[in-house]
């Protein structure tokens, strides 16, 4: 069937980000289908009456309910309500939390929003994001030597978004735009090649991205910036530099920011510890 309308209710005792990501990942499988999916979020639910109200709203539209509740009482209420009213309900957290408890012999804290507490991990993340901003776009080459990761690439290879995404994983990231006519900072040659990632792209894809960039500014898309021959020269210059450095090279043409970041962590043997306190 097509042209269906489906509601997904996110019910959480925190911001509801965990369940939202699960919903978005599922929705991505139906991007080409004629399905209209509405996400309704009911966050910071701490009391039974608030939970019941949210569940009744969900029942009224025969919604799919995803809940991330840590209070056993609220979890039981949500699960029992789903069974009694034939409301499809997914308890996102309990299975894994209970299994961790079984294997460790430890009781979970059951603190709502524990993932977002202002822990040492949180402040390290903020510090990493400040680092990414400070050393973005080659502003200060001295930062190259302090960085966990140094990203290189010609214009529009996602250096800045990647820097900020990786900073959210507590990694200090600096980046340098590569321009054939520009001076290469001497600090680049002092960086361990195992910390450097060279980003590249396909000429036609880069041409399209740059043309769209110019259009977004209300400018003529056919400029030296988007010229295909110039782009090829830029990419050739960048790839020659990557060979000299002996660094990891990633073609981002068909990759999302998340996919590229995952490849970087894998290639550089960096463990994602951003979820640990």
Residue ranges of the binding site for ADP: 153-160
Helices and strands of the chain, counted as H and E runs: 9, 8
The conformation of residue 136, written as its DSSP 8-state character, comes to G
Q: Return binding residues.
A: 153-160
C-alpha closest to that of 72 among 116, 103, 108? 108
DSSP SS3 for 196: strand
Q: What are phi and psi of 62, to 5 degrees?
A: 50, 50
Two tokens, residue 19: 């369940």
Q: What are phi and psi of 73, to 5 degrees?
A: -65, -45
Tally the residues of the chain.
277
């Amino acid at each position: 069937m097509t042209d269906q309308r489906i509601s997904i209710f996110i019910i959480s005792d925190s911001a509801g980000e965990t369940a939202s990501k699960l919903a978005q990942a599922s929705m991505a499988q139906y991007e080409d289908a004629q399905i209209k999916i509405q996400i309704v979020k009911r966050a910071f639910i701490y009391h039974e009456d608030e939970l019941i109200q949210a569940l009744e709203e969900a029942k009224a539209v025969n919604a799919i309910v995803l809940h991330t509740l840590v209070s056993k009482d609220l979890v039981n209420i949500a699960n029992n309500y789903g069974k009694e009213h034939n409301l499809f309900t997914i308890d996102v957290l309990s299975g894994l939390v209970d299994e961790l408890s079984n294997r460790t012999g430890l009781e979970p804290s059951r603190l709502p929003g524990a993932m977002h507490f202002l822990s040492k991990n949180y402040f390290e993340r903020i510090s990493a994001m400040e680092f990414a901003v400070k050393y973005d776009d080659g502003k200060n080459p001295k930062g190259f030597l302090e960085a966990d990761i140094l990203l290189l690439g010609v214009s529009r290879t996602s250096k800045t978004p990647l820097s900020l995404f990786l900073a959210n994983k507590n990694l200090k990231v600096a980046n340098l735009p590569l321009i054939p006519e520009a001076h290469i900072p001497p600090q680049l040659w002092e960086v361990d090649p195992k910390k450097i990632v060279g980003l590249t792209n396909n000429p036609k894809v880069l041409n399209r991205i740059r043309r769209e960039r110019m259009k977004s500014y209300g400018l003529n898309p056919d400029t030296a910036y988007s010229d295909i021959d110039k782009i090829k020269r830029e990419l050739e210059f960048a790839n020659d530099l990557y060979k000299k450095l002996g660094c990891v090279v990633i073609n981002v043409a068909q990759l999302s920011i998340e996919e590229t970041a995952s490849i970087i962590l894998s290639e550089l043997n960096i463990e994602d510890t951003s979820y640990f306190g």
